[in-house]
Amino acid sequence: MATPVPVLRLPKGPDPNSRGFDPNSPRFIALCRTSIPTSAAAESDPQQLQEEQHARSVLRERFLRCLLAMSNKKVRFHMHEKVNVEATFGASDIDVLNFQVSDLHTPIGVQKEALIRSQDVISFTFDV
């Protein structure tokens, strides 16, 4: 009677909460070039590097504060194919792939709850 080959464990499945690519894995740490264009260049001027990093931090902080300020406000989304819709903003997911909105006004009616794909959005505006 043949015995099945024993296994240590089963292969790990996907994490339901993230898209993976663990930034703490040895491969990521070794291979992921920094996304700052200046520092990715062969010779980098430390002064320029610092300026660029500062600018990036400012922009990022501004963007995050913008998302916070938008919460429960009416936002107009300008999307591809000349689509403009208005909705009440809920939240963004961690990777900024989707925006959760309520009362989305579309040409074919009002959607109580919806997810808008962020890659479909060109820009959005709201009144602070």
Report the interface residues with other proteins, using CB under 8 A.
1-15, 19-23, 25-28, 30-32, 95, 97, 117, 119
Q: How far is CA 71 from the centre of its chain?
A: 16
Nearer to other proteins, 13 or 46 (CB): 13
- Give the C-alpha separation, 32 to 43, whole Å: 18
Nearer to other proteins, 6 or 46 (CB): 6
Residue among 95, 112, 113, 100 nearest 71 (CA): 100
Nearest-approach distance from CB 26 to other proteins, in angstroms: 7
Q: Each residue of 19-46: b (16+ CB within 10 Å) or e?
A: eeeeeeeeeeeeeeeeeeebeeeeeeee
Nearest-approach distance from CB 13 to other proteins, in angstroms: 5
Nearest-approach distance from CB 72 to other proteins, in angstroms: 27
Nearer to other proteins, 23 or 107 (CB): 23
Nearer to other proteins, 62 or 80 (CB): 80
- Residue positions counted in the chain: 128
